[in-house]
Amino acid sequence: MSVVDRFFKYVSFDTQSSETSDTTPSTEKQMNLAKALKVEMEAMGLQDISLDEHAYLMATLPANTDAKIPTIGFIAHLDTSPDMSGENVKPRMVRNYDGKEIVLNEKEKVVLSPVMFPELLGHLGEDLIVTDGTTLLGADDKAGIAEIMTAIQYLVDHPEIQHGKVRIAFNPDEEIGMGASKFDVPKFGCEWAYTMDGGDLGELEYENFNAAAAKITVKGLNVHPGYAKNKMVNAGLLAVQFAGMLPPQERPEHTEGYEGFFHLTGINGTVEEATLSYIVRDHDKNRFDQRLKLLQDTTDYLNKVYPENTVTLEIKQQYRNMREIVEPQKHIVELAENAMKALGITPLVRPIRGGTDGAQLSFKGLPCPNIFAGGLNFHGRYEWVPVQSMEKAVNVIIKIIELNK
């Protein structure tokens, strides 16, 4: 089965995760794909196949040499984003892309345009898999799953390629930040691994944001507006004031590269009570700590101007930059770089402007850089993936395994 055939099969499964669930997996439908993949693994003749009650699926491609070779792994996630429906996905192929607009849905006037998405022009002449404009595609991360399964099948079919023991794993709930929460690192049994969850061709990442979530709650005092002078404290206006005290140039829409940000993800309020929800991100640990301090300083200032405890701040640490774990073992990044170069692919080593299961896994004892899976415009109706990028990702996996000595 080709990587494209596998991809089309996997995106037929709706595996959208849920941020409101308190179970693992957060949605039972993720287990449906895990069970189908388990059947495929059994048919391939893989060993040590296990699927636990939380939808963590693992398997082994045994070594075919007596040489002492480190055991490495490849990981992808089962779920798709809660941001848009992944039900009844209807992917289609646009062959030999000509650089023009792609009409995804004529009825709803959904158009994938190189004016809005100039990345398209980097894939002229290639075959693009796109959506019908009503759902996301699911390349994040079913492209990664398809690539790993296809690479492992190739090695099963070509025993002349000598290799050490290889472990593969597919986990739930990456999109809600819980993909590594119940990942059994000792059971996986690898010296290091790679997540196949990156974007465009050549991406190789071992740095990610330090991340936290912040919730600001403002308690107001509501009295009749006709008699409010020197009495009313309007919580809604105070929430707006708080937001305005944070640097406006440090929002996601104004940042790139290594620049961190404060991102207001939600605001609700009345005169009586208001809440602000933020995510806070920065690659640099010191700057990250300074961002959290600014939130606290802003809270403290407003509590001096207004009655004490008018504003409260809750901070929840989410994940850390895996660079501090991976960089001392830079050979695992260099192995992936060398594999790409051997295949004529230019490695694009850059920081992730987001999170990854690999970050949490790295801090759990499994160093885990991230490699491109080929998809672009994740989490929405404009998501697409070039066939040629998926095929090259398959070759990168095979070459890493081949070069691992």
Q: What's the gap between Cα 232 and its chain centre? A: 44
* C-beta of residue 357 within 8 angstroms of C-beta of residue 174: yes
**Could you identify the residue written with the tokens 């991360």?**
141
Selecting among 14, 79, 173, 383, the annotated active-site residue is: 79
Angle at the Cα of 193 (from 190 to 199), degrees rounded to 5? Answer: 165
> Catalytic: 157?
no
R_g of the chain computed on alpha carbons = 23
Two tokens, residue 107 = 């009825």
The span from the CA of 98 to the CA of 361, in Å, is 41
| Residue 300 Cα to chain centre, angstroms | 34
Best CA proximity match to 241, nearest among 274, 212, 266: 274
Active site residue 174: yes
Q: From the candidates 14, 141, 147, 174, give the one annotated as an active-site residue.
A: 174
The strand ranges marked E within 110-176 are 110-112, 128-130, 166-171
Torsion over CA: 327, 331, 337, 341 (sign): positive
Q: Which residues are catalytic?
A: 79, 174
